[in-house]
Amino acid sequence: MIKSPRGTRDLLPPDTALWNFVETTARDVFRAYNFHEIRTPIFESTELFARGVGEETDIVVKEMFTWEDRGRAESDKGQSLTLRPENTAGVVRAYIEHKMWDRGLSKLFYIGPQFRRERPQKGRYRQFYQIGAEVIGPAASGSTSPARDAEILELLATLLDRVGITNWNLELNSVGCPADRARFNEALKQALAPVVDQMCDDCKRRAVTNPLRVFDCKVAADQPIIETLPTVNQFLDNECRDHYEAVKAILKAVRIPFVESPRLVRGLDYYTRTAFEFTHGSLGAQNAILGGGRYDGLSEALGGPAAPGIGFAIGEDRLVLSLSASAESVTRKPDAYIAPLGSGMNREAAIVARELRRHDLIIDLGDESFRLKKSFEAADKIGAKFMIIVGENEVAAAAFAVKHLASGTQETVAREGLAERLLRG
């Protein structure tokens, strides 16, 4: 038997109802904040992620699904392509390619699959799903304003509340500008030099290639050492510090609770200034539901004009795991099951079903070959509220037996009143 590849899985009903609930709620929240959907390819040039995400990040070094194109066209041959491991770089690439700066401030969201060659674990898969958003544009459009950062964080708090996630925690930090980071990296290298030999192999590599990534380490034995290291907010210049203070002031004004986390850094090279994570206790040690931050130099790194931005990505798999709601609680059950009785009644039942579905009623159909007992069993199995019997006598009289399955009560309802009766419940 052929099974799904390691690190992937099928999403089946009724669980897909919960996923649809999350995505519908996300779209409603994005609409309220005037965000618009963008859809980018699921694979891009490998160079995009090397330049955008960072050549020394774990994503690029260890986790990407990359291959060499063997297309028929001569121009395709030898091109390295990669399944997208994240979507911000692709959105910024589209922003540059389509000269979206002419539109002023772009507020974009996406929902879709991403791919990383990770060790599968609870809530983490090789094909996983993200809900994300980016606010990007020329500085004159207000893209650098701390108000944009605060708006993103307020949007996320609203979204988590609406999908039913309670007791979330917002962790906030500023990772400064490139000059701040350079000073911090030098201090971090000096602090790591005498202790790095006591740390895990990944930290030993990161200490050489990109010391900031040491803060991403989840190895318990390394945490006491990490706690002694300097933090980036000790090196912020006045402009970055003022920006950070303004973000916090707006969050306090709109009553979005947060905790400052000076050791919080994001795992990608393009982040500047505001960095954040939302966490939830139900996920255990790996408790981040989503994360994001500001990336004011990413457009230039990808060959575009200056276009400061801020964004986030929600791990939808982990978000669904955090929900207190069950799939059953968000699944709308069928309003009625139609039981055709007798030869030729499939056609009549289909006509009745079409009439009812025009009223946004959920209708399921049986088959004329079923005995009445089997129809009752089928209606009960799918959780239908009513069963409607369609036989020769009912069609001739234009009135149908309607049974409320929970109470067992039955009544005869004229054809023109069927939809109204079902809508009353």
Tell me, what's the pLDDT at 291? 92
Tell me, what's the pLDDT at 185? 83
For tokens 């539901």, the residue is: 289
How far is 137 from 102, CA to CA, in rounded Å?
9
Sign, CA dihedral 406-407-409-415, equals negative
For the packed helices 146-163 and 238-253, what is the interaxial angle rounded to 10 degrees?
Answer: 40
CB 105 within 8 A of CB 143: yes
- Tokens for 212? 């900031």
Sign, CA dihedral 389-392-395-399, equals negative
- Tokens for 373? 């007992």
Tell me, what's the pLDDT at 31? 97
Residue 106, classified by CB atoms within 10 Å of its CB into exposed (0-12), middle (13-18) or buried (19+), is buried
pLDDT along the chain (425 residues), means of 10: 92 91 96 97 92 69 85 70 94 96 95 90 86 96 95 96 90 90 86 88 84 82 88 89 96 96 74 90 70 92 93 92 76 93 94 96 96 94 96 95 95 95 93
Tell me, what's the pLDDT at 4? 92
For tokens 């799903």, the residue is: 129
Q: Where do the domains of the chain lie, and which CATH numbers do they carry? A: 15-177+237-322 (3.30.930.10), 332-420 (3.40.50.800)
How far is 230 from 210, CA to CA, in rounded Å?
15
Tell me, what's the pLDDT at 77? 63
Q: pTM of the prediction? A: 0.85
Three-state SS for the chain is: CCCCCCCCCCCCCCHHHHHHHHHHHHHHHHHHCCCEECCCCCEEEHHHHHHHCCCCCHHHHHHCCEEECCCCCCCCCCCEEEECCCCHHHHHHHHHHCCHHHHCCEEEEEEEEEECCCCCECCECCEEEEEEEEEECCHHHCCCCHHHHHHHHHHHHHHHHHHCCCCCEEEEEECCCHHHHHHHHHHHHHHHCCCHHHCCHHHHHHHHHCHHHHHHCCCHHHHHHHCCCCCHHHHCCHHHHHHHHHHHHHHHHCCCCCEECCCCCCCCCCCEEEEEEEECHHHCCCCEEEEEEECCCHHHHCCCCCCCEEEEEEEHHHHHHHCCCCHHHHCCCCCEEEEECCCCHHHHHHHHHHHHHCCCCCEEECCCCCCHHHHHHHHHHCCCCEEEEECHHHHHHCEEEEEECCCCCEEEEEHHHHHHHHHHC
Tell me, what's the pLDDT at 282? 59
- Tokens for 306? 């200056």
Tell me, what's the pLDDT at 231? 87
Tell me, what's the pLDDT at 187? 87
Tell me, what's the pLDDT at 25? 96
